[in-house]
Every structure is written in C-alpha cells, then in structure tokens.
Structure 1
Amino acid sequence: MKAGRASLGAQSLAVIALFCAGARAEAQGTAPVAPETLPSSDAAGLDPTSDMAPLPDLGVEWPTTDDAGIVPSGDTPSKADKDAETGADAQAEQHYQIVIDGLDDAEGLSNETRAGLRLRFDSLSALKEGDGKGNIAQIDRRARQDEELLGELLRAAGFYEATVATRIERPAGGKLRVVLDSDPGTLYTLAAIDLPGIDAAGDRAPEVRKALGLKIGDPVDADRIAAGQAAVTAELGREGFVFAKVAEPELTVDHEAHNAALSMAIDPNGARKFGAIRLDGDRLFSAKHIGRIARFRPGQPYDSARIEDLRRALIQTGLVSAVTIKPVQTSDPDVVDVSVKLEPAPPRTISGALGYGTGEGYRVEASWQHRNLIKPEGGVTFRGVLGTQEQTLGAILRRNNYKARDRVLTGQVFLSHLDQNAYEARSVTIAAGMERQTNIIWQKKWTWFYGVEFVASKEDDTVKATGAPRSRQYLIGALPTGLTYDGSDDLLNPSKGYRLSGRISPELSLQGSAFGYVKAQVDGSYYQPVTDRVVMAGRVRLGSILGAGAERIAPTRRFYAGGGGSVRGFGYQKIGPLDVNGDPAGGRSLAEFSIESRVRFGDFGVVPFIDGGNLYAATLPTFDNLRYGAGLGVRYYTSFGPIRVDVGTPLNRRPGDSRVTVYVSLGQAF
C-alpha cells in the first residue's frame, strides 16, 4: 500500500493548534483558548490597553444536546447555540457513565474474547481514565478516542468490518450516558496457514508446528497469532535451535470471503548442543558448582527450558539478585557454550519471631545467618530461643546443592533447656545429616534424609506409679532416616492429592547400662476438592517404639500428643498416660487422626475440624479411649501461603484440661 500525501493549509494548522491547546487545557481543567492573530507591527509598539483582535472562526463548535437530550458526537450546532461554546453548561463539570452496546449479541464473539476485549478496553479507555467526570468538550473528545479504540480492538479480534458510533445521552435528572454502539459484523477466519522454512527443522518440525496452536477456521485473532509466534519461538529453543529466527506474521485478507491467509517465515538456523559453562563478571560460584546445579551436561541437545531452570535455581540460592545467561557460539558450529553472569545479593540475614500457644506460653526466637560463609553455599546460622518452656542456643551449618542438585548437607550443635509438664531436660545435641529438599518453586515427589545424632542429657521426671521425682543422665546415639512421597498440588496449601511419609530411628541409650530400641512413625494425609471453594482434608499418624519399656526410655525420646500439630482442642502434651500428679508420662505408641473442611472465600476462609488420638504404654496402639477435640479455624491466604488461626475445645475433657485452646502458624495444619 502507498500512503497518500496531503498538504495542510493555514486553517488546518490553526485547528491542530486548537486541538493541542485543548489537550493541554483538559489536563489543567480549563477550556481551550484560540490563538490570537497578532498585528504585524513590532512588539515594542503594541498598546497593552487596546482591544484584542477578533478571534477567527475555525469551524470547530461545541456539541450541544437536541430536544431528546442526545448529543450526537460530531454534529454541528445551529448558530443560535454558538453562545454555548463558552457558556456555563459547556464549561461545567458533568458526571457520566459508559455503556457499550452490541457486543453481547455479536455472532462469533466467544465469551472469553468478549471478556478480554472489555478488560483491555477498560485499561486503555480515555473515558475510564477521566474517572467519570469532565465538561462536555472533554467528554466528547474522550468518546471519539474510545470510538476509535473499540474499533481497533474489534478488528484485532478478527472483526475487520466492525463499526462503532458514539452518542451522549442526558436522561432527565440523571448523569450523562456515553454510549458506544458497536456492530462487529462478520468474524474473519483463517483460510490458510503457512510456515515457510519449517522443513529445515527436520523431524522436530511437527512439534514446532503444533506449538503454533492455530488451525484452519480459527478466528483471525491478533492476540492468538502473537501468542502462537511466541510459542513457536520458545519451542524452537526447546528443540535446540538456539539461534532460530521467526519473522513477524503476515496476513493477506480477503474481504469478499471474510477470511485471511497467515504466513510466518521460520529460519531454524541449525540445532546446537550444550558446551561448557563460562563465567562472566563476579565469580560468586565456580563453573563446576553451577554445572552441579544445571540440569544439562556438555554434549546434550540444547534446550532453552533447561536454561530457564538454571536461572531460577541460581536465584533460589538466595545469594543471587540477578542472573544473565546467554548462549555463545564456539568454533564448533554445532556447539554453544553457556555464559553466566551473576549479580550477588546481600548474604547476611537477621530474623526474629514472636509466638504464643495455649499450654506452651510465649516464645521469642532470633537468628543471624551468613548464607555463603563457607563457599559454595555454606550457610551458617546462629539461633537463640527464649520462651516460657524452652531456652535454646545453637549453630547450624547448611550446605545447599552439596555434590549434587537439591542435596543438602547439615550439621548442628545445640544447648537447650526444656521445661515441660512431662519433664525438665538440659541437653547438648550434636547432629549431622544429608537430605534431598523440596521447596515452593520445585516441589519434589520424593524426598529423603539420613543422619547421625548424639545427645547428652540430664532429665528430670517422676515415677509414674508413685509420682516420686527422679533425675537421670542419658547418652544417646541415633541414626534417623526418613522417606516422603508428596503427591499433593501445593506445598503450603494442598487442595488435592496425598502425602505419605515414614521415619525410623534406631537408637542406643546409655543410662546405667546400654540398651537399644527402634522408634518408628508413619504419617499420611489426603486432600479431595468437593467444589471450587471447598476442600476436604484428612490426616493419620501412627507411631511405635520397639525394644524397650517406656520407663527406661529417656522422657525426651517418648511419644507425646496434643497441641496445634497434633490433636487440637488439647494443650501441648496433654493427651496420654498421666502420673499420679497429673503430669504427662509419654507413651511407646501413638495414634492420631484429623478431618477438616477448608472453605475459602477469596483471600479468607473458615475451617471446621475434628481431631482425635491417644498415647499408649503398649508397643502398638490399641485405639482405645480416643480423645476428641473440635473447633473452627480462620485462614488468610497470602502469596506465600495461608496464615492459620485455629480455636479448639476438647469434647471429652479430663479435669485440668483447658476448655479453649488457640493456635497460630503459617500454612495449613497438615
């Protein structure tokens, strides 16, 4: 197409000047003023007291309403109405509402496209930007802009013959109504789709063609075509064509047949393989360590999805604020190296927490962490807890991505004092382990851990039968191991699927003489959506200690039940066998269950629940005399997970049990 040329005369230039002045005046909330025609004499000779020259008639009139209360946009008023140009009605602020007619009945306009069209119109509309008020001139100018905008949006959606007309109505005693009458016309569809050059992709061509997501007969929708172009580009990168070029889509429209032919040229430019990792700039990590994190190896086919995975994994370390990754052509035409540039993030963190739980009292926790004190990714944390029932001071080493992706090496040393109803313990703990971790970004199906633990502890409790106080010292060695399968859809707020985990810890205890036992626990949970707003969730926990009697086992190593992560409605450790003083004695076996209904309303939700469970002196749980608690929870859903507040009460309380308990935490109860 050739663009025509036209010259602008003096009057046209004056109209443009008036339009620009009007635009500035609208932004300042004043009426536009026509430019004055200055005399040709020198400015020094002007008489400031003389009358101004008459304004030229530029032929631009203010809109006025007809007898029916309608302002036909663009109509020229009569000579008798010209005084309204500067009158109070034209200058007064008017309130208006916007109505779009014709879209709901348009043939071929899907509900999804209609909703998207309205959303985009609202975000770009000059009338919407005007906040529903302005003088008549401003409203008319905005209506003209929106008339053109709606027409363009309809054409982009495939309605090439769309027409839009605007009118302004003034109902008696009401605010103005700006009506955009739209007639989308016939929907144009794709009659042909051609991707010249795609055959150069070889056996990968079908996948690239499939990524376009368009077929003959689909609407000529600009958004879908642009999305298809982006998808083709991404698929070429995933198939190894790192330097591929995808031309801008070209449409040949046939107005008589109401269809169009789409052509989009593709130059795959040859498939490549991964080469070496190169570092550019700050060497926060070595190339070897980045290679451990990457899910690709030299010689494998290039895949842009694996490059994006590496970028996210580097950000996930917490040590990187920005990552730039680029393919670099090597001397081998089939190989590209990967250039990585890292911008370091602040490595130190100070954090604190304050909490309260019924039966547990207050708890204040503070920590200082250096996430790269021992390179690479060797984070050291010093942590302290000061609470009603716990005082702890310790250090933790955590080496992320140790020898392999997502593998974590841990080591810790703790001094602790626990003053529970069941016991009082002063302990020194040294532990180390290896684990495969899961997180919100990469939620793993399978995770595991294994380790070693040494505990030296002085523990005070009572003899269950007599209530006599006693104090004993323990040296304990343990080999804890665990395996978890997570088939749920979300780490902090699951709505479907299930989880199953098992933990086993062979332990050797020295108290007077050496003896051994095995502590085992199994947890399972299931999540079932009922409606879009309601999810039913259930949990079961079973535990057992084999090889030693409960009285011989250190009080800190026994099972306990009750509290926010156990049976809600009861205080912490308030379920199970009691000594003659009414204090918890712990048990060798455990059985618990929970059922709750998670009902969500936007960012808030309510959760009615019922829990049950008990402890037993026997090796295996007998499921007798279960204790039940029920209550109601409130959830506030944030971007990082729900904040939980649960209020529970025991249904079969014993003397001394609280009537109401409160629990506050992050994430669902299970």
Structure 2
Amino acid sequence: MTRSTAARRRWGRWQWLTAGVLVLLIVAPATAGVRLTVEGAPDFLADNIRAHIDTRVGLTSRLAVRFYRDQVRSQVRQALEALGYYEADADIRITPVRGDWALAVRVTPGPRLSWRRVDVALTGPGRDDPAFRQLLEALPIRPDQGVNHRDYERSKRALRNLARQRGYFDYRFTTVRLAVNAAQGWADARITMESGPRYRLGAVRFSDAPLRDEFLQRLVPFKAGAPYHADRIAELSRRLLDSGYFADATVDVLRDKPQGRRIPLAVTLTTRPRNTVTTGIGFSTDEGPRGQLGFTRHYINNRGHRLESGLRLSPVRQRLDARYEIPLGDPLNDHLAVTAGWENEDIEDSRSERYTLGLSRRQSFRSGWVRTQSLRLLEERFRSGEDRGRSRLLMPGISFSRTRSRGGVDPYRGDAQRYAIEASARDLGSDVDIARLRLANNWLRSLGTRHRFQLRADLGAIATNAFARTPTSLRFFAGGDQSVRGFAYRSLGPIGADGEVTGGRYLATGSAEYSYAVAADWRAAVFVDGGNAFDHLDAVDVEVGTGVGVRWQSPVGPLRLDFAWGVSRDQPPFRLHLSLGPPF
C-alpha cells in the first residue's frame, strides 16, 4: 500500500465521520420545543405565515438552529408571496428561553400586489351552459383585488370540477398564464378552457337481484340520453337505498367504455335480508307501558310487493294490523296499499272495538307534500258515555300532509301539517251519513342555540244526521300528552247525563311552548295549552293547562317530562306527562 493510498483512505474516513456528525446534529431527537410569535402583519397574513412554518422540529445545536432559520425564511417568503406581498421584509430571530426555543417573526408587509387583468374564458359547447356562466361570474379573482394565489388555483380547480360534474370529460386548458410584476405591483391572470362536448347518461345495468330489471329501471331517476350530471348518479344511489330493498348500492360510471357520447352505468346491489322482525317497548302517560312486535317481508315477488304487519299492546289499547303494498309507476313515491286491522280501546269513559279493511294510494311530491286517497270499510262496536251501538261505514277520504325538519331526531326547526276529510253515506251502504274534517299544524323555530319556540293547533269537525251512532274512533276528545296537558288522556269533551265524557262533534286545541338549553342535551320548558272538544259552536268550554317541563336528548331519542296543572278548574288537577319521540 502506498502512502498516498493510505492518506486517501484516512481522508475518506474523516469525510464519512464529518457527514455523520452533521446528520446527528440536524436530525437528532428533539430536546426543546419551538414557540412561534408573528408581529407586524395583519391577522389574515399572520395566520398564513403560521400555517406555512413547521414548528414540529427538534433543535439540539446552533448548527441545527442555523439550518432551521434558513428553512423558516423560505417558508415565510412563500406565505407572503402567496397572498401578494412580494416586497415584504421579515426579521427572524431564534433564541433559547427556559429550555425551549422562541421563534419571533417580525414582518414589514410592504405594498400588496393587485390583479391588473383577469381573463377567464370558456370555449366550446360549454360556453352556452348556464352553470358555467354562473361560475365565471362567481370566481374569486377579479381586477383591482389583492392577489391571492390560492384563489387563482381555486378558480382553475372550480372549472375542472364543474366540467367533470356536468359531463365535459374531454375538457382541456388551452391557456394557463400567470404574470407577476412585483416592482410595479400588479399581476395578470389568463385562463382559457376548452370544454369539449358534453356526454350523456347511457343505459343502467344492474347486478343480479331478486327483482325484475323492468322494476329496477323504474327506480332510475333519468332516461337514457339525459345530459350527464354527477347529481343524477347520487340520486340514483339514494333512491335505490331509500326503496328499502337493498342494504347497499354502488354505482360505477364506466367512462372508459363510452357508447358514442353516452356513459353507461353499472350498479352493484346488495339485497337486504328478505324478512325483518322488530320489537320495541315504550311508555307514555297517555297509554302507560306498551310493547310492539313487527314483521316485514321486504319483497314478496320480483315486482317489489311488500308485506308489513304489527302487533301493539298497552293497558288501554291493543292493535293488530297488516299492510300489503304494491309499488306503482314511481316505486319510491307512488304506492297502492291494501290494509286490514283490528283494534280495541278502553280509555276513560269510552270503549271501542273495530275492524277495518282499506285500500289507499299514497303519492309523494317534490314539494314535500304527500297525498293519500283512501277507501276504508269500518265496522265498530262502541260505548261512549250513554251512547252505545254498532256501526258499519264505507268511507272514502283524502288527506294532505307534509313534515319538514332540520336537526335529526331532535329538530331545532321544522313544521308539520296534516289536513284530512272522510265521509260516509247511507246511499252507499253505510249506517250513518258522516263527513269528518281534521286540520292539524305544528310549528317549531329556534333563536340561536338556546331559545326554542313551538306552536301547535288542532281543529276538527263532524257533520252527521245521527251523532249517537257515530263510532267512538271518529269522535273528538281532548286532554293528554299531545293535547291539553294537565288533564288525563281523552278526559275532556261533552259530558253526558251519566257524568261521562261522550266525545264531541268539534275540536279546537292549541299550545304554545318555550324551552331554553340549560346544558348539553338538556332543556327546560314552560308551556300553556288550551281548548276542548264540544258539541255546539256557541257552547265552547275552554280548558287551560300550564306547567313546566324537562327535555332530554337521550340515547334512544328525545324524552319529554312535563309537570302540568289544569288551571281552568277551581281545584286545578295535577298531571305528570312523560313521552318519548320527536316533536312531530
């Protein structure tokens, strides 16, 4: 070995040793933290500087501090230029303080660049698309405004996203140019996008399912050939899940297999179990403890027919019913149903046992309104005060209802309306001529996060030639959790000669409630209810109940506990009301 060879080897070892020491100095485990302060910059600029600086470093030596200072200087410059401050100065100091490092950045922002010229244009078929025209008017970069490079990138991204959303898959940017003149304080932006043709939605193919393809196609919310829109894809998935037949529905857009300018869709369906059994228990002061058992056969045949049945038991009410549902043109919003049921009630001074057989059509509209046209055969044996009898009624009817709410199971805003009319006529085989009207409205609003107001009104009227033969289930009563609190369930109404409540021809009740959030999931409430059921419009005996309550958003739903007094009586009765469930 020559002397020069040995020297080179020793020099090589010293190089590796020096490099190793430098690496250890720079990447050694953190022994002190970095505390950052930014001065001299407006809040929006200081926030951007903090977002760019990485303080999760370990500074174990002065050499590491020197490297870190250079890194911070570069990060500060990027943060300033991103918001148009190209002429800014920054003084950066790093000093040890009680075992940590204090990083102080003092900024002299200087003048901010402004957009001098902004030229964003669209060519091709998309230029006539109203959605693109609306987007171009709303882009965040405009002449004479302060430069923000993030807004420039957001503008390009918004154009790309809208093109993909609306099916302009062949789009391309023909011009993307950003010019900055820091000395003169301006920047120019020019973006031109060629949209290319708009694709259309093609055929929808479904995976194997126990439902015929013809039925599944009725769940598709668009026709083949409709202009492509990503929202239509999402709506298809939503409709499939909302139908109740499927546990999952995945829609694949086959952009790589276009058929001309049409994009086919492949839907993978996961069918839910064919049968479902549900059980439940509950309690309310109106009915006491109650239990229920339900059975649903989600699809009986490949045409999507469905069967539901249920049993509900409480001390005052027992019910058994079944419902056979047949989807019509729009399986999600148009159904024909055949129903049958038995119900027995023994409440206060009235008793009723009834059998029903019905046919109804339920249609939901985009406005949120639901129209139900019905025809039901009711046979009821009843006792209401001194009135006793048995009536058979064939009753056509129609109802309109709508429920809107925000906030999930404990809504902070919403309203519910229901308007219904039913009638029977002896000329059509009924025992009694009856026309029954029911109007109900519930209104909920919040002021901020603490104050909540709820108003409720319920009106009803019966026109008949033989009220004594009107079944109990059609008469009106007041009192209870959802009526006039402070009085027992269905304890208010006209009084017969025997002192028992007989039920009335008319109903008018109302309620006003205010609640205040006292803690997370807890609200305190005060309320006043009023109204009654009565036989004559000129003989209204209004009962009033008032009280205080507690509202708790429990794990199983909103729980309401009310302490109410019937203050319209000389000796006000007290009633404790407990109920579980949403307000409407």
- Alignment TM class, shorter chain as reference: 0.7 to 0.9
Structure with bigger RCO (C-alpha 8 Å, 6+ apart):
2
CA distance in 2, matches of 1:152, 1:345: 54
Matching residue of 1:462: 385
Q: Once the 2 structures are TM-superposed, how far is the Cα of residue 11 of structure 1 from its aligned partner?
A: 5.3
Q: Once the 2 structures are TM-superposed, how far is the Cα of residue 594 of structure 1 from its aligned partner?
A: 1.4
Cα offsets for 1:251-277 (capped at 9, x unmatched): 444433455444545342202333432
Give the unaligned 5+ runs of structure 2. Answer: 1-13
CA distance in 1, matches of 2:303, 2:22: 65
CA distance in 2, matches of 1:324, 1:597: 46
Cα offsets for 1:285-310 (capped at 9, x unmatched): 55544443333223433333222222
Q: How does 1:523-534 map to 2 (within 5 A)?
A: 523-527=440-444, 530-531=447-448, 533-534=450-451
Which of 571, 579, 582 does residue 664 from structure 1 map onto?
579
Matching residue of 1:426: 353
Q: Once the 2 structures are TM-superposed, how far is the Cα of residue 556 of structure 1 from its aligned partner?
A: 1.7
Q: Once the 2 structures are TM-superposed, how far is the Cα of residue 604 of structure 1 from its aligned partner?
A: 4.3
Q: Once the 2 structures are TM-superposed, how far is the Cα of residue 587 of structure 1 from its aligned partner?
A: 1.1
Q: 1:448 and 2:371 equivalent?
A: yes
SS across alignment from 2:218:
helix
CA distance in 2, matches of 1:324, 1:503: 40
Q: How does 1:59-74 map to 2 (within 5 A)?
A: none
Which of 93, 107, 119 does residue 183 from structure 1 map onto?
107
The answer (yes or no) to whether the contact 1:571–1:658 under 8 Å persists in 2 is no
Q: 1:316 and 2:242 equivalent?
A: yes
Which of 119, 123, 126 does residue 201 from structure 1 map onto?
126
The answer (yes or no) to whether the contact 2:115–2:186 under 8 Å persists in 1 is yes
SS across alignment from 2:492:
coil
Which of 302, 307, 311 does residue 233 from structure 2 map onto?
307
Matching residue of 1:416: 343
Which of 602, 613, 620 does residue 531 from structure 2 map onto?
613
Q: 1:647 and 2:584 equivalent?
A: no
SS across alignment from 1:214:
coil
The answer (yes or no) to whether the contact 1:292–1:403 under 8 Å persists in 2 is yes
Matching residue of 2:6: none
Distance 1:212 1:530, change over 3 A: same
The answer (yes or no) to whether the contact 2:479–2:490 under 8 Å persists in 1 is yes
The answer (yes or no) to whether the contact 1:452–1:479 under 8 Å persists in 2 is yes
Distance 1:258 1:436, change over 3 A: farther
Q: 1:391 and 2:330 equivalent?
A: no
RMSD: 4.4
Which one-letter code corresponds to 1:647 in the other structure?
Answer: D
Matching residue of 2:219: 293
Which one-letter code corresponds to 1:452 in the other structure?
Answer: L
Which one-letter code corresponds to 2:370 in the other structure?
Answer: T
Q: 1:22 and 2:17 equivalent?
A: no
Which one-letter code corresponds to 2:396 in the other structure?
Answer: L
Which one-letter code corresponds to 1:660 in the other structure?
Answer: R
CA distance in 1, matches of 2:417, 2:403: 7
Cα offsets for 1:530-550 (capped at 9, x unmatched): 556434332222100112343
CA distance in 2, matches of 1:492, 1:116: 39
Q: Once the 2 structures are TM-superposed, how far is the Cα of residue 126 of structure 1 from its aligned partner?
A: 5.9
The answer (yes or no) to whether the contact 1:570–1:657 under 8 Å persists in 2 is no
Which of 326, 330, 337 does residue 403 from structure 1 map onto?
330
Pairs aligned (count): 560
The answer (yes or no) to whether the contact 2:476–2:493 under 8 Å persists in 1 is no
CA distance in 2, matches of 1:12, 1:201: 62
Q: 1:210 and 2:137 equivalent?
A: yes
Which of 527, 544, 557 does residue 628 from structure 1 map onto?
544
Distance 1:586 1:530, change over 3 A: same
Cα offsets for 1:389-414 (capped at 9, x unmatched): 22223333345675355223333332
CA distance in 2, matches of 1:509, 1:315: 45
Q: Once the 2 structures are TM-superposed, how far is the Cα of residue 649 of structure 1 from its aligned partner?
A: 0.8
Deviates more, 1:607-616 or 1:624-633: 624-633
The answer (yes or no) to whether the contact 2:312–2:318 under 8 Å persists in 1 is yes
Give the unaligned 5+ runs of structure 1. Answer: 1-7, 27-89, 465-469
Distance 1:400 1:217, change over 3 A: farther
Larger strand proportion, structure 1 or 2?
2
Distance 1:526 1:199, change over 3 A: same
Which one-letter code corresponds to 1:585 in the other structure?
Answer: T
Matching residue of 1:543: 460
CA distance in 1, matches of 2:481, 2:209: 45
Deviates more, 1:147-156 or 1:624-633: 147-156
Which of 96, 106, 113 does residue 41 from structure 2 map onto?
106
SS across alignment from 1:297:
coil
CA distance in 1, matches of 2:551, 2:379: 41
Which one-letter code corresponds to 1:293 in the other structure?
Answer: L
Matching residue of 2:11: none
Matching residue of 2:268: 341
Which one-letter code corresponds to 2:385 in the other structure?
Answer: T
SS across alignment from 2:299:
strand
Q: 1:360 and 2:278 equivalent?
A: no
Matching residue of 1:587: 504
Cα offsets for 1:465-494 (capped at 9, x unmatched): xxxxx5x33323222311235677678666
The answer (yes or no) to whether the contact 2:396–2:424 under 8 Å persists in 1 is yes
Q: How does 1:67-82 map to 2 (within 5 A)?
A: none
Distance 1:660 1:218, change over 3 A: farther
Distance 1:298 1:394, change over 3 A: same
CA distance in 2, matches of 1:657, 1:636: 27
SS across alignment from 1:574:
coil
Which one-letter code corresponds to 1:201 in the other structure?
Answer: G
CA distance in 1, matches of 2:89, 2:343: 75
Q: Once the 2 structures are TM-superposed, how far is the Cα of residue 626 of structure 1 from its aligned partner?
A: 1.3
CA distance in 2, matches of 1:261, 1:301: 35
The answer (yes or no) to whether the contact 1:449–1:483 under 8 Å persists in 2 is yes
Distance 1:117 1:356, change over 3 A: farther
Q: How does 1:548-559 map to 2 (within 5 A)?
A: 548-559=465-476
The answer (yes or no) to whether the contact 2:95–2:103 under 8 Å persists in 1 is yes
CA distance in 1, matches of 2:517, 2:27: 53
CA distance in 1, matches of 2:517, 2:82: 37
CA distance in 1, matches of 2:103, 2:274: 58
Matching residue of 2:5: none
The answer (yes or no) to whether the contact 1:609–1:631 under 8 Å persists in 2 is yes
Distance 1:656 1:275, change over 3 A: farther
